[in-house]
Amino acid sequence: MMMAEMRDDELELFFEAGRAAAPAPSEALMERVLAEAQAQQAPRAQTPARPAAARGAWAGLLAALGGWPAVTALAAVAVAGIWLGYASPGELDGLTAALWPGQGGYDVVDMIPSYDGLLGEG
Amino acid sequence: MAFDAESGISDEALLVLYANGDAEAARALTQRLAPRVLGFAARMLGGDLAEAEDVAQEAMLRLWRIAPEWRQGEAKVSTWVFRVASNLCTDRLRKRRGVALGELGADPADDSPGAEARLQAASRAEALEAALQDLPERQRQAVVLRHLEGLYNPEIAAVMEISVEAVESLTARGKRALAKALTGRRAELGYDDG
């Protein structure tokens, strides 16, 4: 006997039964998927906290000063300053006198031009 | 904040929340997507549930990993997961090509009283599964996504990385082949021919 070709609505009955028979995920699978979700989430959640946890008071100071290169330069300048204070090289006296009036160098009056020369010719 | 699987919030919004550390978002996404991916994988893999679970777990893991770099508005989350699962299934089918496909796990026999309707539905489902396994892989994939997972053709096109026209052609050919294969099962399932 020749059977009639299956109609779309009949085929749909099979699809309907297929949808209803979809395998239900086991509890174990759902737990594994969730556990992996949390495991992937955990390291990311900690990432911003890590540098803060590692930074102590000294690390904070170091960062505030601009890192190691800045601190190295600062240390070199400090040592140079101490040396100048102790050794007080003679060449510096003139410079000090020029920059610090009243220490036996020039006075402010010395810097003001004089009119004496002009008056003498008149 | 608690989200259930049916709450109005989109998969994409949940994924962003997950990436920002929300544990409940992971739970909701798992409830929404894992069962669907499992069903799809089981059908693609000939009813091998253990293998389908591996595929579902791996596809979800890849989703968790991509979450921080997810580019919003580019793809639907479900489509993305189906595509990953689809590729994983293809890899597994390739590896075991030549090895006989597994039988569908569930036994439709049911002796409880008043179970006739359930029995019939189970028989139909079993007949459909058997017919699906005889389809070429791409036709099976398109038919399962369209008629069992309820995806739209453009979504299937994105999953399978082909054109919408190609999807339409695959589903049409798949349905014709299924109709032909299942016509022989109609009588034994107790349908009228008319």
Four-point Cα dihedral A85, A89, A91, A92, nearest 10:
10
Chain A residue numbers touching B128 (CB-CB < 8 A) = 14-15, 17-18
Q: How confident is residue B103, by pLDDT bands cut at 50, 70 and 90?
A: very low
Whether B45 contacts B92, CB under 8 Å: yes
Nearest-CA distance A55 → chain B (Å): 24
State how far the Cα of B142 lies from the Cα of B164, in Å rounded to an integer.
11
Kindly list the residues from chain B whose CB atom is less than 8 angstroms away from the CB atom of residue A34: 26-27, 30
Task: Say if residue B7's pLDDT is above 50.
Answer: yes
Per-residue pLDDT averaged across B97-108, rounded? 46
pLDDT of the residue at A106: 58
> Would the CA dihedral through B70, B75, B76, B80 be positive or negative?
negative
- Average pLDDT value for residue range B51-75: 94
Residues with Cβ within 8 Å of B143's Cβ and at least 6 positions away in sequence, in order, are: B132, B135, B170, B171, B174, B175, B178
Rounded to two decimals, the pTM is 0.66
Q: What is the CATH number of domain B117-187?
A: 1.10.10.10
pLDDT at residue B72, rounded to an integer: 86
Taking CA A56 as the corner, what is the angle to CA A54 and CA A59, rounded to the nearest 5 degrees?
Answer: 95
Residues of chain A neighbouring B27 (CB-CB closer than 8 A): 34, 37
Contacts of B7 (CB under 8 A, 6+ apart): B28
Q: At what angle do helices B49-66 and B23-44 cross, to 10 degrees?
A: 140
Select the more confidently predicted residue: B50 or B119: B50
Degrees, nearest 5: CA angle B95-B101-B104:
130
The C-alpha atoms of residue B123 and residue B187 are separated, in whole angstroms, by: 12
Q: Which residues of A touch B105 (CB under 8 A)?
A: 23
Residue B61, pLDDT above cutoff 80: yes
Does B6 have pLDDT greater than 80? no
For chain B, the average pLDDT equals 85
Average pLDDT over residues B55-69: 96
Interchain pair A3, B23: CB under 8 A: no
Would you call A61 exposed, middle or buried from its count of C-beta atoms within 10 A (0-12, 13-18, 19+)? exposed
Task: Looking at the complex, report in whole angstroms how far the Cα of residue A1 sits from the nearest Cα belonging to chain B.
Answer: 11
d(CA A14, CA B113): 23
pLDDT tens-place string over residues B163-186: 999 999 999 999 999 999 998 777
Query: Does the beta carbon of B50 lie under 8 angstroms from any beta carbon of chain A?
Result: no
Cβ–Cβ below 8 Å for B148 and A4: no
A2 pLDDT exceeds 60?
no
In angstroms and rounded to an integer, the radius of gyration of the C-alpha atoms of chain B is: 18
The CATH number for B8-97, chosen from 1.10.1740.10, 1.20.1050.10, 3.40.50.10860, 3.40.228.10, is 1.10.1740.10
Amino acid at A1: M
Per DSSP, chain A holds a count of helices (H) and strands (E) of 7, 0
Tokens of A19: 């949808």
Closest by Cα among B95, A109, A76 to A84: A76
CB atoms B56 and A21 under 8 Å: no
Give the residue with greater pLDDT, B30 vs B124. Answer: B30
- A18 with B125: CB under 8 angstroms? yes
Q: Is the pLDDT of residue B67 over 60?
A: yes
CA distance B27 to chain A (A): 6
Q: Where are the domains of chain A?
A: 25-54, 67-121
By percentage, how much of chain B surpasses pLDDT 70? 82
Instruction: Give the residue with greater pLDDT, A88 vs B154.
Output: B154
Q: State the pLDDT confidence band at B107, using cuts at 50, 70 and 90.
A: very low
**E-only strand ranges, B95-179:** none
* CB within 8 Å: A14 and B53: no
Between A76 and A64, the higher pLDDT residue? A76
CB of B175 within 8 Å of a chain A CB? The answer is yes
Task: For residues A70-80, give the mean pLDDT.
Answer: 84
Residue A98 has pLDDT above 60, yes or no: yes
Domain ranges of chain B: 8-97, 117-187
Cβ <8 Å between A6 and B183: yes
Question: A20 CB near a chain B CB, below 8 Å?
Answer: yes
